[in-house]
Amino acid sequence: MLASGGIELRAAEHPAFTRAVRGIVRDERVVGRLGLLHPDVERRLDLTGPIYLFEIYLDALAGGQLPAFAPLSKFPSIPPRPRIVVDRGLSFAQVRDCVRRAAPAIVKKSGCSTSIRVSG
């Protein structure tokens, strides 16, 4: 089940389908079926299989809502990634310890896997 008002597929039966048929259920109400056409029906209709079918009861879906359109931003939000430029002579442990003392919440939040660019 996706959510309240969502769609769910459940085992179902129908004479035109094989055992590979599913009922399309919305809010505990069957709103359609989908599955593999029964071989006897294929032969009677002179079809070559396998043939998959689906049916939707439009009246059962009439109470649904279409999703609302929301335009995409030209400038999507990109979370900032901390960058530190340090002297080549400093070790990672020295930089990490300095950042931990100055801003412990940052180190705890992002872990110690923050990339470090070296200058000089």
pLDDT tens string 81-102? 667 788 888 888 888 788 778 8
Single out the residue in 28, 46, 61 at which a domain terminates: 61
Weakest-pLDDT range from 15-29, 39-53, 61-75: 61-75
**Model confidence at 2, in pLDDT bands (50, 70, 90)?**
very low
Question: How many independent structural domains does the chain possess?
Answer: 2
Query: Are 18 and 50 found together in one domain?
Result: yes
DSSP letter at 4 equals T
Cα–Cα distance measured from residue 24 to residue 72, given in angstroms and rounded to the nearest whole number:
32
23 occurs within a structural domain? yes
2 occurs within a structural domain? no
The reported pLDDT for the residue numbered 75 is 78
1 occurs within a structural domain? no
69 occurs within a structural domain? no
Domain that holds residue 98: 84-119
Cα–Cα distance measured from residue 68 to residue 33, given in angstroms and rounded to the nearest whole number:
27
**CA angle centred on 118, ends 112 and 120, rounded to 5°:** 160
Mind listing the pLDDT tens digit for each residue in 102-112?
Answer: 876 666 554 54
Cα–Cα distance measured from residue 70 to residue 7, given in angstroms and rounded to the nearest whole number:
23
